[in-house]
Amino acid sequence: MTVWGMILGAYPRSRLARYTLRDRERGILDYTQYTSRLLMIHSEIIGVQKAHGLPVVVDGMVDWHDIFRPFIKRWKNVSIDGLLRYFDNNFFYRIPVFTGEPDPLEPVWLPRIRQFKNLAEPSSLKIVLPGPFTFVNLSQNASDLSKTELAESITSILKSEIELVKEESVFIQVDEPLVGDRRLSKEEVEEYLDYWNEIASLSSENSAIAIYFDVPRKEVFDIVLESKFKYVSVDVIDSKRRAIELLEKTGLPGHVPVLGIVDARRIHEDSLDDELLTMIKKLSKESHEIVLTTTTWLDLIPYTYALKKTKILSKFVDIVSEKIGLEKRILWR
């Protein structure tokens, strides 16, 4: 049995990253200067994760304004509207507005994988995709498409992103933070199970679904457990008692647990207490593999704290390995 760690998503922007994006918008940097600086910035973030022994790394994604923007910028028949608060965070996203069937002009992830794959070795790169449930329900549909038709179109495009990179030995993560909304009914989520399975079936051994910001209701989580994703990520810290109770009731049968135990929304020091260790030990008896991660993306806290959180995650992997007797995994593949 093994344990390993990975960062769930994007890093915050360092001062250099903020200035780079600002100077590009103002026309101070040309395209070559801009991409050169971004390469340096992302290389540093990849290097930090490798230095802390994480076998799966993100490229940093500091040029992403939110989880949707990189995709809608490259799709026809979709624009952006006003700002809306992104869940209960001090963070806002531009609302995608669909005016017709989305049609991709170019891929988001293939160029990034080609650029960063060698830098990441021997670790593997991870691609992060906004899940169809969250994408559809946090967007505005101003087209003639039904909600189902829009979900089908988005799913098809997300699948094409995976098809283009699945030979590159990457880890694939589909983010569905909205699934954690406690107001959701089972029926609202159930109709998306087929879309999830279409995505997961393209890369069943290295695909994950990530739910964060809150803990799903049991009947909703049961739908997630029916999916074909090998890895299921749960935010354990934001609603710790509910998360532990849910995992005690359901377990993660047929899936590898990805446990968000490093708080990515707050800058306080994290602790791996006995209650968390007991939960991890119990789950390790049901799965050959345990993955530790951050509760959400790190881009909600300052850059220096994100670096500290990366170190803490690595430390927690060492503690779990030692106290529970799991082998620490250095290479994912």
CATH number at residue 37: 3.20.20.210
Which of 123-132, 162-171, 175-184, 240-249 comes out lowest in average pLDDT?
162-171
* Residue 92 located in a structural domain: yes
Q: CB under 8 Å to 117, separation ≥6 — which residues?
A: 125, 168
Q: pTM (2 decimals)?
A: 0.95
Torsional class of 327: left (φ above 0), alpha (ψ -120 to 50), beta (otherwise): beta
Domain count, the chain: 1
Residue 330: pLDDT over 80:
no
* Domain presence at residue 299: yes
Mean pLDDT, range 62-85, rounded to an integer: 92
Q: Would the pLDDT of 332 be above 70?
A: no
Position with higher pLDDT, 33 vs 331: 33
The proportion of the chain whose per-residue pLDDT surpasses 70, expressed as a percent, equals: 99
Least confident stretch, 32-36, 91-95, 143-147, 237-241: 91-95
Among residues 233, 141, 228, which one has the least CA distance to residue 179? 233
H or E element in which residue 290 lies: strand 289-294
Q: What pLDDT score does 215 carry?
A: 95
Number of other residues whose CB lies within 10 A of the CB of residue 172: 27
pLDDT, residue 63, reads 95
Look at residues 239, 250, 198 and name the one whose alpha carbon lies nearest to residue 87: 239
The residue segments making up the domain with residue 137 are 2-328
pLDDT at 156: 97
Strand pairing category for 75-85 and 92-104: antiparallel
Q: Which of 231, 182, 233, 240 lies closest to 204, judged by CA?
A: 231
| Rounded average pLDDT over 299-311 | 96
Please report which confidence band the pLDDT of residue 91 belongs to, taking 50, 70 and 90 as the band edges.
confident
pLDDT of residue 82: 84
pLDDT band (50, 70, 90) for residue 204: confident
- Please, what's the largest Cα pairwise distance for the chain? 57
* pLDDT-above-90 percentage for the chain: 89
Closest-CA residue to 8 (of 263, 306, 312, 295): 295
More confident position, 167 or 134: 134
> Is residue 333 in a domain?
no
**Which has the higher per-residue pLDDT, 330 or 271?**
271
Query: Are 175 and 129 a contacting pair, CB within 8 Å?
Result: yes
**Per-residue confidence (pLDDT) for residue 116, from 0 to 100:** 94
Which one, of 85, 106, 105, lies nearest residue 94 by Cα? 85
Task: Report pLDDT for 51.
Answer: 95
Burial of 195 (0-12, 13-18, 19+ CB in 10 A): buried
